Amino acid sequence: MSGREAPRPPEPIRRFYRAVTVGETDADGLARVLLDARPIRTPAKAHLATPPEIAARIAAEWDAQGKYILPISMPLTRLANTAIDGVSATLDAVKDDIARMAESDLLMYRADFPAGLVAAQKAHWDPLVAFAEEALGVGVRLQEGIMPLAQEAGLAPAVRARLPDAPLPLAAFHQLTTLTGSTLTALAFHAAAIDFETLWTAAHVDEDWNIQEWGEDEEAAERRALRRRDAEAAAFVLRAAGLPG
């Protein structure tokens, strides 16, 4: 047999700890998650420290692990690692990326048929567009189809000005935008104008229409469930971080 063998997937890490606790809150208002009294470190070897409410949820993720540690089952841990190791050093770049995504937002591109899908998009998306226009003070242009549509010059700066400044909520906002395809929907959620179910439904109008018409694929449903878990983690962080100033 010629050619190189496919690389083997990494072996799962066995659970190596018994007790999971949350340390005392420090002067910056952050708490560390402890495994057998030793602080967890991120992949870049920084201490994993977050606001206490979030640290408690992260501790619960570690405590729920069985014989092996499965990172895919720990969305808050992964999000915190991303914030600490990556976003904290690239705040401006992350804000710029979110603002750019707002210029090609899911809510801006509408179907022209069938009538039921057109009505569903209008019902779920128009209130979010109206919120964004009022909150940002900038008009949002809509069009049928998927051809690029130039937005008003003030849209991206207005979105950027409303983004969180701290690494963890900013990472959460970016994750929520990426998972939904909509900066404007994430903005409405961050401002407590909508709840999570409204956000998640709005992000899946097209997908739900196709499921209604053609049925649901099992693998697609599993992927959606994983995305939802990550989205719920990001939503929790944004709620825990409070409303924008």
92 and 150 fall within a common domain? yes
Q: Check residue 1 and give its pLDDT.
A: 47
pLDDT higher than threshold 60 for residue 200: yes
User: Under a CB-based contact definition with an 8 Å cutoff, are residues 179 and 227 in contact?
Assistant: yes
pLDDT higher than threshold 70 for residue 203: yes
User: Under a CB-based contact definition with an 8 Å cutoff, are residues 163 and 170 in contact?
Assistant: yes
Q: What is the residue range of 228's domain?
A: 88-241
What span, in angstroms and rounded, lies between the C-alpha atoms of 71 and 73? 5
pTM score: 0.93
Q: Which of 72, 98, 121 is the last residue of a domain?
A: 72
What span, in angstroms and rounded, lies between the C-alpha atoms of 138 and 158? 8
Question: Is 79 within a domain?
Answer: no
68 and 167 fall within a common domain? no
- Of 65, 68, 66, 245, nearest to 169 by C-alpha is 245
165 and 103 fall within a common domain? yes
Tens of pLDDT along 79-129? 999 999 999 999 999 999 999 999 999 999 999 999 999 999 999 999 999
